[in-house]
Structure 1
Amino acid sequence: MTTVKVKGMSCQHCVKSVTETMEKLGAKDVSVDLLTGDVKFEEPAPIDKKAIKEAIDQIGFEYVD
């Protein structure tokens, strides 16, 4: 399981947006912890961190490396 940090989430709508975005990138079993900002997921195929950052930025949140 891979974990990344995302800042700026404050509600379940935010969680849904991040989850859907990660799934579009190919992530499976996405789990978002609103309090810590942890986004955990399985990678059937490796997902480029630059692609994650760009996708998260596009929906208005901050990917923390």
Structure 2
Amino acid sequence: MSEKTLQIKGMSCGHCSARVEKALNAIDGVTAAVDLEANSAKVTLLKEVSDETLKAAVDNVGYEVVGIK
């Protein structure tokens, strides 16, 4: 199990953060919690998930990952 923090650009309201959280949580092995004020998502990985997979999930709902730590 590991954790990553995604910096996300473009979220401006609770609806935005809910869409991102739903998209990330739909990935098998991922548990995510989005912090709208910090423009970030804390992601817990229960199995190996690539950064590209996480970015694609966020991109597909209209937002941009600008960093992963």
What range describes the TM-score normalised by the shorter chain of this pair? Answer: 0.7 to 0.9
TM value normalised by structure 2? 0.81
**Post-superposition CA distance 1:11-53 (Å, at most 9, x none):** 111111111111111311x221112211002110121111111
Runs of 5+ consecutive residues of structure 1 not aligned to the other structure: none
**Identical aligned pairs, as a percentage?**
30
Aligned length: 64
TM value normalised by structure 1? 0.86
SS at match of 1:35: coil
CA distance, structure 2, for counterparts of residue 58 and residue 50 of structure 1:
12
Cα RMSD for the two superposed structures: 1.2
* Amino acid in structure 2 at the alignment position of 1:37: N
**Where in structure 1 do 4 or more consecutive aligned residues deviate above 2 Å?**
none
